[in-house]
């Protein structure tokens, strides 16, 4: 039977890539909503800025983790369970952008660097969360993968980022099916033009499909954080398979 939430049940989550951008915004919104959150990222300093906030005392844990390293993921996730007792939520968020320049000039290492974080890292975190959530009591949990509008329509010269985000959509669809017997709900959030370091250049002008350069509108990254908190608040018998949040006037519908 799917577990029903009650006020006395601790809610424990992991946010990867929590040191900046969407991950940071989501972690803060979840903490404000009463969750206990493990903040994972390559650099521990920005994670500690959140964890040491008085408002979140005792409910935030900062862990340095490279998600492209399967052993590091296993160690970090096991540390979360040892600290908080269980795992109810994974916001599978960590990701990197495209290498610079046209893809014809990339080295194999540049390609693998994107795949290692955006695809391998997503899988390693998903896999470890499945193992924990399916074995704990009460059983189950929720996983939210960070896709992108690029999972549906590419931008010019975005082949590495776009390919990995299409692959994330495949992970989401497959894992949502495989999670059913274990009471694990898997969905995806696709974000368009949130104001983060990854997207800040859009305000100054980015290449369009017709060959022009144009500035694009951005939304406050806190809006995305609130969307993640909403998805996390749902009971496990309900799942949002795909959730899109984007700047209203950005070129996506009708792109090209």
Q: Are 30 and 13 in contact (CB under 8 A)?
A: yes
Q: Are 200 and 21 in contact (CB under 8 A)?
A: no
What sign has the CA pseudo-torsion 62, 12, 239, 127? positive
Q: Is 161 a catalytic residue?
A: yes
Q: List the Cα angle 134/144/174 in 5-degree steps.
A: 65
Q: 103 Cβ partners below 8 Å, 6+ apart?
A: 157, 159, 160
Identify the active-site residue in 56, 95, 161, 251: 161
Q: How far apart are CA 231 and CA 226, in angstroms?
A: 9
Strands (E), 74-195: 89-92, 141-146, 184-192
3-state SS assignment for residue 185: strand
Q: Are 47 and 56 in contact (CB under 8 A)?
A: no
Residues labelled as active-site residues: 161
């Amino acid at each position: 039977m799917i577990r029903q939430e009650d006020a006395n049940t601790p809610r424990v989550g992991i946010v990867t890539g929590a040191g900046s951008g969407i991950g940071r915004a989501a972690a803060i919104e979840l903490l404000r909503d009463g969750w206990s959150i493990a903040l994972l990222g390559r650099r521990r300093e920005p994670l500690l800025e959140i964890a040491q906030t008085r408002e979140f005392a005792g409910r935030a844990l900062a862990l340095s983790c490279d998600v492209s390293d399967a052993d590091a993921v296993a160690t970090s996730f096991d540390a979360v369970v040892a600290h908080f007792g269980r795992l109810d939520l994974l916001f599978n968020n960590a990701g990197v952008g495209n290498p610079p320049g046209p893809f014809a000039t990339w080295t194999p290492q540049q390609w693998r660097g994107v795949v290692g974080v955006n695809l391998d890292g997503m899988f390693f975190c998903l896999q470890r969360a499945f193992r924990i959530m399916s074995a704990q009591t009460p059983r189950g949990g929720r996983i939210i993968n960070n896709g992108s509008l690029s999972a549906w329509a590419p931008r010019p010269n975005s082949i590495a980022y776009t390919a990995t985000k299409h692959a994330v959509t495949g992970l989401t669809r497959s894992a949502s099916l495989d999670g059913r017997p274990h009471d694990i709900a898997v969905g995806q959030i696709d974000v368009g033009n949130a104001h983060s370091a990854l997207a800040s250049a859009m305000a100054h002008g980015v290449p369009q499909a017709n060959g022009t350069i144009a500035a694009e509108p951005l939304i406050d990254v806190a809006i995305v954080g609130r969307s993640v908190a909403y998805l996390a608040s749902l009971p496990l018998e309900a799942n949002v398979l795909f959730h899109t949040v984007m700047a209203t006037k950005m070129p996506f519908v009708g792109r090209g």
